[in-house]
Amino acid sequence: MDLFLLFIATLLAMIIINILFKYFFANPKEKNTLVPPGTFGLPIIGETIHFLVSLYYGLVHEFVQERTKKYNSNVFKTSILGQKVVVFSGPNANKFIFTRGNKLLIGWRPNSVQKLFPSTSFVPIEHDTKRAQNVMSYFLNSQNVETLINTMDYMSHTHLENHWKGNNEVIVYDLVKLFTFILSIRVFMGIENSDKILNLYEKFNIFSRGLLVLDINFPGTTFYKAMKVGKELRKEMKAIIEKRRKELLENPNLSKVDVLTQVINEKDENGKCMSEVEMIDKLFGFIIGSYHTTGTAITLIMKYLEEKNEFFNDIVQEQNEISRNMMPREVLCWNDIQKMKKTWNFVNEVLRDTPILQGTFREVVEDITYDGFLIPKGWKIYLSVGATQKNGEYFPNPTKFDPSRFEGNGLVPYTSIPFGGGQKMCPGKEFARIMILVFLHHVLKKFRWEAKVPSEKILCPFFLVPVPTNGYPVTLYNV
């Protein structure tokens, strides 16, 4: 009996020593073998249905907040779209993702995106943002930015005169999305022919619908239609690139400073230009990234301006003052944009309350640890924009619409992230800011409006961007 007890005691001691040894002397990677709390849900389906329904209703932040509360952790694991995913929220988690560089975390593209953008098979994703930022920064330098504002000013004015004036009613989203498309196409590629633009518009709308759907390439499916129209668009883009290349060869001092010229001239660190497939994908990325997001942002801002009318007069006053001080100059300039502080705070509060992109995905390239948890190689990370932006810890009374949150320098870093942050910050942020402010200046100068569908719901069709269900139809009044 004594011998048996001795045997058990020795066994227990060995187990304890083994555990302690592993804990204190194992290398740090082995020590942190605890993956984040959470559940992978049902086999294969995981929590996809719940996640996609939340995405459709613009409520991903609730999906995330429920679980962070349940697991008492800012990171938790789940399974979405057949992938093992760790969901991140909160400023520390955001900072971790935005400042990790491109070595450990890379952007993740669903299969549908990879197939619609063929260059993704040979261009490392980490090259994307840098190249896009290079293209945009040149485009927005101090000399070119005044030309850009000039064009935006002229186009906003003529769009409102031609499509809004004289109508008692308009569907804001339809008109604004068309406007942001025409502006993007003209500014990025110098195309002015209306028929050509309208034809491209139809095609880009079909193409975009295929971005976040199952990649079933079978006649009749949304993805099939997107792939089909993608081929046609590629042919047209190829011709546009060839024409511009020829123009640039014949006249190297050509004054066309636009994204098309930049994409053609952009070289990597070895002086190598992009391949044609990559150029086309870049142009597609800019166009799609630009018109959907900014079109929806302007629509939502106009809706909020009408619904939160306690802020309306202040904003009109700011815009009127800018108009008065401009005289006799009629076109907005960079200094005027800088003065639109109240208007921009209002825009920021709209983007906090209804983020245009509810979140962004990354792929883990090597095992990483965050907050003591292991996130294994190959897993995906989903960063929820809304879960941070609607967290009372960083935005007191988060359901209250309050643009004054953005006054001064009071915000905790990495809490307001509608454009992402760090190295993968949206390359079009400044372009979007100018486009939104210039358009608002003109629409407020010319019109007042009233919703035809009170408290119209906002949903995210095709899981892309939030849109009022009826497109925000309004009755228009001239100022």
Give binding residues for heme as ranges. Answer: 426
Q: Give least dist CB 98 to ligand HEM, A.
A: 7
Tell me whether residue 54 or residue 416 sits nearer to ligand HEM (CB atom).
Answer: 416
**Contact assessment for residue 180 and residue 187, using Cβ atoms and an 8 Å cutoff:** no
Task: Kindly tell me which residue out of 76, 207, 286, 344 binds ligand HEM, with binding defined by CB under 6 A.
Answer: 286
Distance, in Å, from the CA atom of 223 to the CA atom of 171, rounded to the nearest integer, reads 28
3-class DSSP state for residue 288?
helix
- Tell whether residue 189 is a contact of ligand HEM (CB under 6 A): no
Q: Give least dist CB 281 to ligand HEM, A.
A: 10
Tell me whether residue 293 or residue 389 sits nearer to ligand HEM (CB atom).
Answer: 293
- Is 60 exposed, middle or buried (CB count within 10 Å of its CB: 0-12, 13-18, 19+)? buried
Residue type, 299: T
- Tell whether residue 303 is a contact of ligand HEM (CB under 6 A): no
DSSP, res 460: -
Report DSSP letters for 251-277, one per residue. -TT----SHHHHHHH-B-TTSPBPPHH
Tell me whether residue 258 or residue 318 sits nearer to ligand HEM (CB atom).
Answer: 258
Distance, in Å, from the CA atom of 58 to the CA atom of 55, rounded to the nearest integer, reads 5
- Tell whether residue 375 is a contact of ligand HEM (CB under 6 A): no
H or E element at residue 449: strand 447-451
Tell me whether residue 32 or residue 188 sits nearer to ligand HEM (CB atom).
Answer: 188
Task: Kindly tell me which residue out of 116, 123, 233, 432 binds ligand HEM, with binding defined by CB under 6 A.
Answer: 432
Task: Kindly tell me which residue out of 36, 230, 398, 428 binds ligand HEM, with binding defined by CB under 6 A.
Answer: 428
# residues near ligand HEM by CB under 6 A: 23
Distance, in Å, from the CA atom of 302 to the CA atom of 311, rounded to the nearest integer, reads 12
- Tell whether residue 226 is a contact of ligand HEM (CB under 6 A): no
Tell me whether residue 128 or residue 402 sits nearer to ligand HEM (CB atom).
Answer: 128
Nearest residue relative to ligand HEM (C-beta): 428
Task: Kindly tell me which residue out of 132, 233, 305, 350 binds ligand HEM, with binding defined by CB under 6 A.
Answer: 132
Q: Give least dist CB 294 to ligand HEM, A.
A: 5
Residue 8, phi then psi, degrees to nearest 5: -65, -45
Site for ligand HEM in 68-127 (CB under 6 A): 107
Candidates 58-66, 290-298, 319-327, 369-377: pick the segment binding ligand HEM (CB under 6 A): 290-298
Distance, in Å, from the CA atom of 172 to the CA atom of 180, rounded to the nearest integer, reads 12
Q: Give least dist CB 356 to ligand HEM, A.
A: 4
**For the CA atoms of the chain, what is the radius of gyration?**
25
- Tell whether residue 360 is a contact of ligand HEM (CB under 6 A): yes
User: Tokens in use for 166?
Assistant: 């004289």
Q: Give least dist CB 293 to ligand HEM, A.
A: 4
Distance, in Å, from the CA atom of 205 to the CA atom of 397, rounded to the nearest integer, reads 38
User: Tokens in use for 127?
Assistant: 């090259």
Q: Give least dist CB 414 to ligand HEM, A.
A: 12
Task: Kindly tell me which residue out of 386, 418, 466, 471 binds ligand HEM, with binding defined by CB under 6 A.
Answer: 418
- For 386, residues 6+ apart whose C-beta sits below 8 A from its C-beta are 58, 60, 61, 64, 355, 358, 359
User: Tokens in use for 243?
Assistant: 């024409």
**Contact assessment for residue 401 and residue 349, using Cβ atoms and an 8 Å cutoff:** yes
Q: Give least dist CB 45 to ligand HEM, A.
A: 26
Residue 48, phi then psi, degrees to nearest 5: -55, -45
Tell me whether residue 90 or residue 420 sits nearer to ligand HEM (CB atom).
Answer: 420
Residues engaged in binding ligand HEM (CB under 6 A): 107, 128-129, 132, 285-286, 289-290, 293-294, 297, 356-357, 360, 418-420, 424, 426-428, 431-432
